[in-house]
């Protein structure tokens, strides 16, 4: 999975210089700064097929603490 830019993105979290397997992340940051939303896309058919058959996705969070998260396939901006 790769993070992608999206229309509602209003902030970029830049990757740490010392992390080679990390990318900067475009996010939508809520006006009250209570949450941020990023958009991700599968890049290979192998990833798509693996997810189709297993239904499993792994979330990595870098840093000493694990914040509350939500992983969803539903567009949070859809009316």
> What average pLDDT does the segment 65-76 reach?
85
For the stretch 10-60, pLDDT in tens is 999 998 888 887 888 999 999 999 999 999 998 899 999 999 999 998 888
pLDDT at 63: 74
Spatial distance between the Cα atoms of 59 and 42, rounded to a whole number of angstroms: 14
For the stretch 58-70, pLDDT in tens is 888 777 777 888 8
pLDDT at 29: 94
> Does residue 7 have a pLDDT over 90?
yes
Cβ–Cβ under 8 Å, residues 60 and 38:
no
Element (H, E) at 2: strand 2-4
- DSSP secondary structure letter of residue 6: -
């Amino acid at each position: 999975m790769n993070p992608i830019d999206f229309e509602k993105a209003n902030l970029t979290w830049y990757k740490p210089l010392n992390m080679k397997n990390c990318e900067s992340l475009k996010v939508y940051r809520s006006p009250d700064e209570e949450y941020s939303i990023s958009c991700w896309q599968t890049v290979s058919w192998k990833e798509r097929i693996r997810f189709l058959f297993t239904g499993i996705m792994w979330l990595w969070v870098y840093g000493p603490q694990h914040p509350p998260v939500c992983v969803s396939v539903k567009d949070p901006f859809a009316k």
